[in-house]
Amino acid sequence: MVDELFIKRRSYRKYLPKEVEEDKLNDILQAGMLAPIASGKYFNVVLKVFRGEELKTLQETLVKETGNDNTYKAPLVIGVYHKGENVELANLDAGAIIENMLLEARELGLGSVFIYSICRLTRSNEALKKYNELEGGYILRSVVSFGYVEDFNDVREIEHKFSVIK
Ligand SMILES: Cc1cc2nc3c(=O)[nH]c(=O)nc-3n(C[C@H](O)[C@H](O)[C@H](O)COP(=O)(O)O)c2cc1C
């Protein structure tokens, strides 16, 4: 049931050292592409997959520069890059894309985390700057880590509650 999937989607920050299969990665990418995008400008977005040696280099650079691997040692990371001039819309597009991918990942038995902190670092840190922009003027808007998790109960205590005005 859809409701159950929403409840099951949490941020998982401890991953097993196990690769995510290609078909699952493709399903996650497809879920991202089915997100609503402002004015239907899907051509403004690039989903950049980081894994293997390329991801290892990113993670090592993060540790070297900040003392922290903000990807939580994930075996798979996806960067959402956007070339729209309206930053507000670019960020909203990224949020919609990422939420679809988070939910799809959980449906596939994977954990994930929506990670903004890397994005900020790629703007301010010289060694990480190369991750801020892709050829063609696509700018990093946010990042998601994915992977298998040992314990789906290992999540931060948090109340999912907004104020609501009816
Ligand atoms: C826009 C946005 C940025 C986030 N950035 C980070 C981040 O940089 N690092 C992190 O560990 N979690 C990050 N999160 C995850 C939130 O901390 C998490 O979703 C929230 O505390 C609710 O917990 P839950 O995902 O387990 O439901 C981010 C979430 C959102 C929506």
Domain membership of residue 126 (yes or no) is: yes
Domain membership of residue 34 (yes or no) is: yes
Please give the Cα distance from 78 to 39 (Å, whole number): 23
| Selection from 76, 28, 27 nearest residue 49 by Cα | 76
CA dihedral (79, 85, 87, 93) positive or negative: negative
Task: Please state the atom number of ligand 1 nearest to the C-alpha of residue 117.
Answer: 8
Judge if the beta carbon of residue 155 lies within 6 A of ligand 1.
yes
Domain membership of residue 121 (yes or no) is: yes
What CATH number has the domain bearing residue 82?
Answer: 3.40.109.10
Residue 37 φ then ψ, to 5°: -125, 135
Judge if the beta carbon of residue 117 lies within 6 A of ligand 1.
yes
| Selection from 120, 82, 83, 114 nearest residue 98 by Cα | 114
Please give the Cα distance from 132 to 129 (Å, whole number): 5
- Give the residue-averaged pLDDT of 17-32: 98
Contact 80, 140 (CB under 8 A): yes
Domain membership of residue 39 (yes or no) is: yes
Domain membership of residue 76 (yes or no) is: yes
| Tens digit of each residue's pLDDT (9 = 90 or more) over 25-52 | 999 999 999 999 999 999 999 999 999 9
Give the model's pLDDT for residue 2. Answer: 74
Domain membership of residue 47 (yes or no) is: yes
Task: Please state the atom number of ligand 1 nearest to the C-alpha of residue 160.
Answer: 27
Number of domains observed in the structure of the chain:
1
Domain membership of residue 33 (yes or no) is: yes
Domain membership of residue 159 (yes or no) is: no
User: Which residue segment(s) compose the domain that 45 sits in?
Assistant: 12-147
